[in-house]
Amino acid sequence: MGTRVAASQVLRWTLRNATSVFSPLQFGRCLLQPLCTGGRLLCSSTSHGPLQPTLHDRELNPLSRQPVTELSLPSLVDMGFTDSQAEQMYEATSKLRGTSTSKHALSTLTALFVLGLNPSSVQKILEKCPELYTVTESQFQQRIGNMRKLGLVEGSLQRVVSHYPQILTVPVKTVKNVVLFLKEKCLFTFQQVTDLLRDSPAVVLEDRGQLEYKFQYVYFRMGIKQAEMVKSRLFRYTLEEVRCRHCFLERRGLYQTPDKKGQTMIINPKLDSILHFDQDTFLTNVANASAEEYEVFQRLMAREWLEEEQLQGNIEADSDDDEEEDEEDEETGGKSGYRKKRKR
């Protein structure tokens, strides 16, 4: 166990200083190949003697003592990428040259490999979210460390990053604020918040007002508790999707809002079956309706929601006008009152 920890520390130091010690080809000889167990990296040399600069090294770096920090095709191949993958990765990183983000390309690849992700996964992640090239090494460490503190252990962490790599572009403070909101405003437990982040990581970037409204709608209008929300992966769906299917069932007499004791006159379908089914299965198995009926209903609901928004906007505008009038009265009240007194 102690050997593994020591090896891990040496590896971290080696990777952290790779950009300042090795040229691209020399860095390539430090093979970044994830092990099948534990998601650790194995660093090995292609030769038993000291690394000697090749002709290609000297061509890339005429000043042999000046470190080269940009990736090359051979170094990408040595990391484990196939020739075609290396070409695609090289082309993508080449576009960054001359920009402030080019210096982070190597640390981005290193951070993803340290997570235990294989080259194919790393390529897909960077294709899905090229913004990761802008993330610094220290930001990676802070954000990954914070996710571990939130309960995303090995396995879950890799799945979250693969499914939604944008989560690594979100500042730690933003994630903490979302977690605090879910715990204090929505009363989710720590474990439930962990499950939400694992199954619906996009929640960290959702508008806070929409997030709160969605929770309140499902909690109060549908009578759904937190545990069922987590199980049904509620936050993967938009508020419009949830409202439309719920209202359709409600108006067909197939869903009833529970009373204060949680009782209903009918057996409501589970939130999971309302949301997870595709539209055809939902209409056949849950709503007992045709696609034409649902399409007409969707158009009617869209019109109703638009009218509600316009009405709400008018009410807010009237409220603002009233406040301005009150402020004007307060500002001129003294003068007008004084004039009235003088007339008398």
Percent of the chain exceeding pLDDT 90 equals: 53
> What pLDDT is recorded for position 51?
40
Q: Is residue 170's pLDDT more than 90?
A: yes
Query: In this predicted structure, what is the pLDDT of residue 160?
Result: 96
- What pLDDT is stored for residue 19 in this prediction? 40
pLDDT category, 298, cuts 50, 70, 90?
very high
Cα 114 vs. chain centroid, distance in angstroms?
20
Region 12-40 average pLDDT: 40
Closest Cα to residue 167, out of 115, 119, 213? Answer: 115
Most confident region among 96-110, 127-141, 323-337 by mean pLDDT: 127-141
* Average pLDDT of span 230-259: 95
pTM for this predicted structure: 0.69
Based on the number of CB atoms within 10 Å of its own CB, is 233 exposed (0-12), middle (13-18) or buried (19 or more)?
A: middle
Residue range 100-110: mean pLDDT, rounded: 77
Q: Which residues contact 212 (CB under 8 A, 6 or more apart)?
A: 181, 185, 186
Q: In the structure, what pLDDT confidence band is assigned to residue 320 with cuts at 50, 70 and 90? A: low
Long-range contact set of residues 246-251: C-beta below 8 Å, sequence gap at least 24: 246/221, 246/222, 246/274, 247/297, 247/301, 248/287, 248/289, 248/294, 248/297, 249/274, 249/286, 249/287, 251/297
How do residues 41-82 score in pLDDT, each as one tens digit? 444 434 444 444 443 443 444 433 344 455 788 888 888 999
Q: What is the pLDDT of residue 274?
A: 96
With a cut of 80, say whether residue 315 has pLDDT above it. no
Per residue, the 3-state secondary structure of the chain, as one string, reads CHHHHHHHHHHHHHHHCHHHHCCHHHHHCCCCEECCCCCCEECCCCCCCCCCCCHHHHHHCCCCCCCCCCCCHHHHHHCCCCHHHHHHHHHHHHCCCCCCCHHHHHHHHHHHHHCCCCHHHHHHHHHHCHHHHHCCHHHHHHHHHHHHHCCCCCCHHHHHHHHCHHHHHCCHHHHHHHHHHHHHCCCCCHHHHHHHHHHCHHHHHCCHHHHHHHHHHHHHHCCCCHHHHHHCCHHHCCHHHHHHHHHHHHHCCCCCCCCCCCCCCCCCCCHHHHHHCCHHHHHHHHHCCCHHHHHHHHHHHHHHHHHHHHHHHHHHHHHHHHHHHHHHHHHHHHHHHHHHHHHC
Q: Which of 33-47, 76-90, 286-300, 313-327 has the highest mean pLDDT?
A: 286-300
pLDDT of residue 71: 74
pLDDT mean across residues, the chain: 78
Q: Which of 120-129, 171-180, 312-321 has the lowest average pLDDT?
A: 312-321
Contacts of 342 (CB under 8 A, 6+ apart): none
Please check the confidence at residue 187 and state whether its pLDDT lies above 90: yes
- The predicted pLDDT at position 88 comes to 87
